[in-house]
Structure 1
Amino acid sequence: MQRHDARKHYIPNEIYTPAQSAIEYQNILFAGGLKGDGSKYLGSTPEVDEAWDDLYNKTLISQILPDAAAQLPNATTRFSNDTDYHIVELDVFHQLHCLNMLRKLVYPDAYPTDLLSGSEEAEGNVFHLEHCYEQLRQSLQCASDLATITWQWSRKRKGFVGNVHTMHTCRNFDKIHEWSVKNVAAQELNFFEYVEGAPIFENE
């Protein structure tokens, strides 16, 4: 039997991130998102909204110093002409924002979203959601989680069911969240005022 050699499975040419120091790995048992799992992220109550808000919205934007900004694969701007701090957003928080947008579509009474009227608002909503699911598709394929779902016999259903309560090797999200708290932006970017030396977006 061939044994697993972790040394052969390092990440080559890993992209730089200013949150590199926060990366730790741990094994986590996934909940299935099924009735009885008790996830605080399921539903449409104010408590559920707060749980999602705590995941990403309070730490969405980070600030980094010029030496860290210089190592980014894509250049980013300073917040203003009066500071050396540069603006970044860790993609995990952007992805959680996108997933939350899709969650809300499941509960149209709680979160009415115009998608069908043909109005400018509806077109903007569709554009935003298409952007979100395309970003999530790429992220899922990028990570390509190889944890295994197994099939087990259910006495209750008298048939086989896929067991999604599976162990996964994960980055420690709490550590990443702690990094984002320590580096949360102390100021906001004025989206309509050019900052000297800001990189130009060419993808349009």
Structure 2
Amino acid sequence: MSSEKYTSVPHEEEEVESLAGSLSTESTERPASTSRWRRMRVGEESPCRERARRLLRFWPWAAHAVLLTTSVSLFALTLCMRYGNTQDDVYYTKKYSSYSPAASVVKYHTERYNLTPIMDWSPFVGVGYQVDRAWDHITNNIGDQMISHDELVKLGLDPKSIKITNAVTGEEGYRAGLEVFHQLHCLNLLRMSTFADYYGREDVGSDVATDKEDLRGHIDHCIEALRMNLMCQADIGVFTFKMYPDLPVEGHWPDFSTLHTCRNFDDIRNWALTHSVTFEDEE
């Protein structure tokens, strides 16, 4: 017989014993790792749990940071929008208007006129002390302003214009005024001239209380001033016609409840008041 090498194959009993031995070995080694796991769970936190706890501590600060960043961004955006709108107002004022030292305060807004066939009450309509006070507020109580020589040149005005000296500062300049207040003065004169019996009295003390020739010249001057300004501005707003069943009028009438882009009169008036001067002399 030829000699052959054989590998012994364990019997089933031997396999079972071998498996049992390995399990026994594992069981003797496991307590060490198990005890470490138990100690970590009881005495120390696992890495995952520690990371979760750190995240929980971090999130409130992150939320505060996000809210702060959002607030600052919104605030900056609001400032930019306001500043941008102001810059746009100044830009268009300078672009479409003649130079004016008051241009920096001009802002624009949209306003709807309230003008029906039978007018609602207005403080500027009629006659009497209260009406006069309303007109004085927007015309006579403003005062004159003073401009420098450089501003006079920019305006293209006569270099021989009247010079004055500011009684408070001693500064020299030229006596000046804003056109809007002259135009309102003229409109007020026309109003008062329609109540000549009242405003022609000397005790009332208006521009109507003068001789007829002077009054006629003043009225004609004001009519022409208003005409030139209205034609220069040439309002291109559009109105329609409609019926007014709730008013005691017949037929259709113009609907003047139209939208207009207006300058902020109060700010312009405040500028004029702030820059008004009392002057000592005229040259």
What TM-score bracket applies, with the shorter chain setting the length?
Answer: 0.7 to 0.9
Letter of the aligned partner of 1:144 in structure 2? A
Kindly, what percent of the aligned residue pairs are identical? 32
**Of 99, 105, 128, which aligns to 1:16?**
99
Q: What's the counterpart of residue 142 of structure 2?
A: 59
Deviation at 1:162, TM superposition (A): 0.7
Q: What's the counterpart of residue 130 of structure 2?
A: 47
Letter of the aligned partner of 1:171 in structure 2? R
Structure 1 residues 92-131: aligned runs within 5 Å: 92-112=180-200, 121-131=211-221
Q: Deviations over 1:128-158 (max 9, x none)?
A: 1111000000000011111122111222445
So what's the TM-score if we normalise by structure 2? 0.56
Structure 1 residues 72-91: aligned runs within 5 Å: 72-75=155-158, 76-80=161-165, 83-91=171-179
**Of 249, 260, 264, which aligns to 1:168?**
260
Unpaired runs of 5+ residues, structure 1, are 1-9, 114-119, 196-204
Unpaired runs of 5+ residues, structure 2, are 1-91, 202-209
Letter of the aligned partner of 1:178 in structure 2? N
Maintained 8 Å contact 1:33/1:39: no
Greater fraction of residues in helix: 2
Deviation at 1:161, TM superposition (A): 1.2
Pair 1:121–1:63, CA change in 2 (3 A)? same
Q: What's the counterpart of residue 182 of structure 1?
A: 274
Letter of the aligned partner of 1:146 in structure 2? I
**Of 134, 148, 153, which aligns to 1:70?**
153
Partner-residue secondary structure (3-state), 2:197: coil
So what's the TM-score if we normalise by structure 1? 0.76
Deviation at 1:59, TM superposition (A): 1.2
Moved more, 40-49 or 27-36: 27-36
Maintained 8 Å contact 1:66/1:85: yes
Q: What's the counterpart of residue 4 of structure 1?
A: none
Deviation at 1:110, TM superposition (A): 1.3
RMSD: 2.4
Pair 1:41–1:188, CA change in 2 (3 A)? farther
Q: What's the counterpart of residue 111 of structure 2?
A: 28
Q: Determine if the alignment matches structure 1 residue 145 to structure 2 residue 246.
A: no
Maintained 8 Å contact 1:30/1:168: yes
Partner-residue secondary structure (3-state), 1:57: coil
Larger Rg: 2
